[in-house]
Amino acid sequence: MARITLDKLAHSYKPNPSGPGDYALKEIDHVWRQGGAYALLGPSGCGKTTLLNIISGLVTPTRGRILFDDDDVTGRPTEARNIAQVFQFPVVYDTMTVRENLAFPLKNRGVARDVIRRRVDEIAGLLDLTRSLDRKASNLTADAKQKISLGRGLVRPDVAAILFDEPLTVIDPHLKWQLRSTLKELHRRLDITMIYVTHDQTEALTFADTVVVMHDGAVVQAGTPDQLFDRPAHTFVGHFIGSPGMNVLPCRVDGALATVEGHPVTLAHAYPALDAARVELGIRPEFIRLAPRGAGLPVRVRRIDDIGRARIARVELGACALSAMAPDGVALDGDEASLSLDPSRIHVYADGRLVAPAGA
Ligand code: ADP
Ligand code: MG
């Protein structure tokens, strides 16, 4: 078991990279603490699989180092890294039985037969594969095959970390919930570092203690689900997490006063003078109240969507579109309404990055 440190890690698939656009990963510094349950979250193409493959040794980074505790493993092959990895699609030996498949990673390392048997029985029990243990893998469904792949990743109790790369993609939706909580439960029992890659925020937020958000080859924020929700370090995080995500509105900021579409918005703190191409105000729909026309920012209501647990109003403030929660029983006078924003929930961003208030 180990703490995993990424030290100025960068990777390009091009033989002669020139600009930042040639890099799939752009200088990542990050520490995964021993025993953490991590989700690595980001949209397709942002570099999640590349990062995972660099940690496991399938890909050698263009620059930078990977340390397991204080041990530099950068040039070492996968076999010498003591890492288990589960891929998006099943990796099983069709000619073997389920039991032989599950036993394979242990047998390969010369583990005693009775230990293997006990361990395989335990993992099969957890994944509900016990009844299939003696069947040939080739005869099983895609779900069952992926469960075998998961089992092979989980079967070794002595690994430094287990890496899951969107492991539930092929799994039937009703089984997904169950398997996710099985993995979470296993993490609690095993105390092994787990990194779970997903592009699905619900999956990330339910599995992880710490969510690491990637965007465009970089780690933009790592934090608890609450931290990501309450204080997005980057407009991308605010947008990507939450449903709907944080509103991002172009503005001017002067001390503790912002101006949005010509309207004044009071901030909870004063901000330093901002020298940025883009200054924006971020506020989640949950912290905006929609009310009949009156005091507050004058908006035009375009539509109201009922999403089951809440109603969300899509409104326009001048040329800016934004979302706000619409409390039940608000009678609107035509499509005109007003918004009030909770100042303590407003964040200021300069070129996408969160700005600390003056003196903070
Ligand atoms: P994710 O897993 O987040 O979807 P990837 O790590 O697979 O992202 O990809 C990151 C970027 O690197 C993408 O632009 C992708 O096209 C590129 N890429 C991934 N694998 C290869 C490869 N083997 N050769 C060249 N480019 C690659
Ligand atoms: Mg991927």
Instruction: List the chain residues with pLDDT less than 50.
Output: none
Residues 6+ apart with CB under 8 A from 312: 244, 285, 304, 305, 323, 324, 325, 326
pLDDT given at position 96: 97
**Is any ligand 1 atom within 6 A of the Cβ of residue 247?**
no
Residue 50: nearest ligand to its CA? 1
pLDDT given at position 333: 66
pLDDT tens digits along 250-309? 999 999 999 999 999 999 999 999 999 999 999 999 999 998 888 899 999 999 988 887
**Residue of minimum CA distance from atom 22 in ligand 1:** 13
C-alpha 40 to ligand 2 mean position (Å): 10
Burial classification of residue 228, based on how many CB atoms lie within 10 Å of its CB (0-12 exposed, 13-18 middle, 19 or more buried): buried
CATH of 247-354, one of 2.40.50.140, 3.40.50.300, 3.10.20.600, 3.30.420.310: 2.40.50.140
Q: 122 by DSSP, 3-state: which?
A: helix
**Is any ligand 1 atom within 6 A of the Cβ of residue 11?**
no
C-alpha 166 to ligand 2 mean position (Å): 7
**Residue of minimum CA distance from atom 10 in ligand 1:** 47
Residue 87: nearest ligand to its CA? 2
Domains of the chain, residue spans: 4-240, 247-354
CATH topology of domain 4-240: Rossmann fold (3.40.50)
Interface predicted TM-score (ipTM) over 0.90: yes
pLDDT given at position 148: 97
260 backbone dihedrals φ, ψ, rounded to 5°: -120, 120
Token pair 């200088």: residue: 27
pLDDT tens digits along 220-234? 999 999 999 999 999
Question: Are domains 4-240 and 247-354 of this chain identical in fold?
Answer: no
